[in-house]
Amino acid sequence: MRLKIDKFAGLDISSAKLCLIAGPCVLEGEGQAIDIAGTVKEICGKLFIPYIFKASYLKDNRTTQASYQGPGLEKGLAILQKVKAQAGVPVLSDVHCEHQVEKAGKVLDVLQIPAYLSKQTSLALACGRSGKAINIKKGQFMSADEIAIPLDKVLSAGGKEILLTERGVTFGYKDMVLDLRNLLRLREFGYPVAADITHMVRIPGYTSTDPKGGLSAYILPLARSAVACGCDFLFLEVHPDPQKALCDAESVLNLNLLEQLLQDCLEIAEIAGRRD
């Protein structure tokens, strides 16, 4: 199926075999963010992969009130502005309520509707009115067909550049699975589809640094599987030293593994594209 859009956040996605959204879970510091963005941009440049930097300025759905939440709206947007300027890449972050959309839209290239807030009407409408590219994360409590709920809201408010992201499905208690059929079903809406691999390997209910909080060993095979099923974007949280990450330490990808993973995924995308 031909996509309804050829560009997303200023990037030409029409001829790309694979696109990437990657960065730390939450902003930990200006220098680190710029370094990660620069490293990933260099890797993607060699592989001809369009790239968007992601990091949350505020992570509001933490397990405990003591968990690290990030620098907040003002300081976080200032850091993301510097990432844009110095690394020269588009930037993406979550927006949590309609009141954040206007200020965030002055910096962000992509406004992200978080999975837990995917049915919030006022947020979807505000994002749609913003004129920005929008990433709608499908809630893990939703079927693929139910992505029509936030999608219709965003479209009704004027949204045009839209990405639909699969971030897993709740499977019983404290478990998440990747249903590969969802990637195909989401694509039927006509918009590019992302697979949020690193959130799929999170185990809800554990703190970010709890060894039981994630199954990072599954990141590589799940990413390869998602690309084989035709996802347009990989969404990956990466960190140069995962065990020191201030958020989702047990489910982020070590930055050192990224280039080889992307090379593998490009080969898979080439095969899948020829046999589609």
In DSSP terms, 233 is beta-bridged to 19, 194
Mean pLDDT of the chain: 93
Distance CA 36, CA 255 (A): 8
pLDDT single digits (tens) 129-142: 999 999 999 999 99
pLDDT of residue 153: 98
Convert 241-250 to b/e letters by CB count within 10 Å (16 or more is b): ebeebbbbbb
CA nearest neighbour of 131 among 17, 4, 10:
10
Strand pairing category for 162-166 and 193-196: parallel
- Residue 45's SS3 state is helix
pLDDT of residue 6: 96
Boundaries of every domain in the chain = 17-34+44-274
Q: How many whole angstroms separate alpha carbon 101 and alpha carbon 166?
A: 22
- Say which CATH superfamily domain 17-34+44-274 falls into: Aldolase class I (3.20.20.70)
Tens of pLDDT, residue by residue over 193-209, are: 999 999 998 887 666 66
CA atoms of 267 and 263, how far apart (whole Å): 6
| Residue 268: predicted pLDDT | 97
Tokens 């970010």 correspond to 208
